[in-house]
Homo-oligomer: A and B are copies of this chain.
Amino acid sequence: MKPNRIRMTRQRKAILKALKETDSHPTADQVYLMVRHQIPNVSLGTVYRNLEILCEEGAIQKLEMGRTQMRFDGRMDLHHHIRCVKCGCIGDIIIEPINLNDTMLASRTNFEITGYQLDFSGICPECKKKSPGMVN
């Protein structure tokens, strides 16, 4: 057990606040822009470092969907995400967790299963409005 040495600096506080106040799952540079309203000379490096630290502390979570830019989420309850294939925005979905001890599932691999990541893709309401009926 290491002592909790993390300091609540202005920057860290502002980054955490920004994430708790939005449901837009922003990228690091979007967080950077938000925080700059309050702390104009904050650096992008500081934003990245703090997002990482806040993740480790369990205060926020990092979304790594495919190989796109990371996104960050201030919501910590169990939920999944859906990405709009047109605009890239991200929404939330709550579904029942998969039972990792399911013998049917376990029998299908010689790995010991410890976790999973389930992300959906689709079309967000805004993009649906813009091109109704269009598949692409």
Contacts and interface: CB of A to CB of B under 8 A. Distances in A.
Contacts of A66: 64, 117
B128 A109 contact: no
Contacts of A125: 110-111
Interface stretch (A14-22, A27-35, A47-55, A87-95): A87-95
Interface string A71-114: 00000000000101100000111110000000001001111111
* A interface residue count range (under 10 / 10 to 19 / 20 to 34 / 35 or more): 20 to 34
Contacts of A124: 110-111
Contact of A109 (B93, B116, B119): B93
Given A64-B66, A95-B108, A120 B113 contact: yes
A105 B82 CA distance: 12
Contacts of A112: 122-123, 128
Interface in A33-70: 64, 66-67, 70
Q: How many copies does the complex hold?
A: 2
Contacts of A6: none
Given A64-B66, A66-B64, A67-B70, A114 B109 contact: no
Given A95-B108, A116-B118, 12 more contacts: A64-B67, A66-B117, A67-B70, A82-B113, A93-B105, A110-B125, A111-B124, A113-B122, A115-B122, A116-B119, A116-B120, A117-B119
